[in-house]
Amino acid sequence: MAASGSYTPGSKRRAADPAHLPAGSRESEMRQRVLSATAELIDRFSYDDVTIDAVARASGVSKSTLYRHWPARRVLVLEAFTYKTNLLTHIEETGDVTHDLHAYLIALTRCLNEGKTASTVANLLAEAIRSKEFSGLYRQTLLRDRRHGFLAILERGQEQGQVRRDADLGTVVDALYGAVHHRLVATGEAISGPFLRRLSGLAVLGCATPDYLERRRLDR
């Protein structure tokens, strides 16, 4: 995994680039260079300061090229933030749904708490509220990928007999991601380790199979 502050392509998770360009192509390399540079700017500066001029200087890519691929600054910032978050929320599977959910929440929280990232999250959400078109893009990239991360863990839990087949996984995901987002954007309360442990525990308690809950009780 890339070190904090350095977003080197190569994660097992899909990058945010919607074009899925072949690795090694000139356009793919340019896009990854731009996304990496923008992601680092997101960590260092507030949303308003992550400008096209700043990205051009940091990436070495001309403004005309940037506008040709990203028609608006908010589109570039959204894609770069999704790219960064995808890289930094990759976790190793352990075969235990509680452990994996907790690990994913920790990885996501570290990403959201990085530098000035909270400013970007709040402003992207505000942009999505103001613009119906951007709202659709926001849902199709950042929200879709975060939901996929949670759903993949819960669906593995179903396959392993740890999560009930009749569980409403969409609601579980909404509760998990919504709780983190609420603290980050609305209340400003700390997204602490104990909070994340309680959150993952409550989520599993609401959807786990009786056998899995009994095994966890005996293991304590």
Residue 205's contacts (CB-CB under 8 Å, 6 or more residues apart) are 213
Q: How much is the mean pLDDT over the chain? A: 88
Q: Are 38 and 50 spatial neighbours (Cβ–Cβ below 8 Å)?
A: yes
Give the separation between CA 185 and CA 106, rounded to whole angstroms.
17
pLDDT in tens, 44-98: 999 999 999 999 999 999 999 999 999 999 999 999 999 999 999 999 999 999 9
DSSP, collapsed to helix, strand or coil, labels residue 50 as coil
Q: Which domains does the chain have, with CATH numbers?
A: 26-72 (1.10.10.60), 89-219 (1.10.357.10)
Burial class of residue 150 (count of CB atoms within 10 Å of its CB; 0-12, 13-18, 19+): buried
Give the separation between CA 83 and CA 68, rounded to whole angstroms.
19
DSSP, collapsed to helix, strand or coil, labels residue 188 as coil
The pLDDT value given to residue 219: 81
pLDDT in tens, 27-54: 899 999 999 999 999 999 999 999 999 9
Among the listed residues 173, 154, 169, 176, the one whose alpha carbon sits nearest the alpha carbon of residue 97: 154
Instruction: Name the pTM for this structure.
Output: 0.84
Q: Are 92 and 54 spatial neighbours (Cβ–Cβ below 8 Å)?
A: no
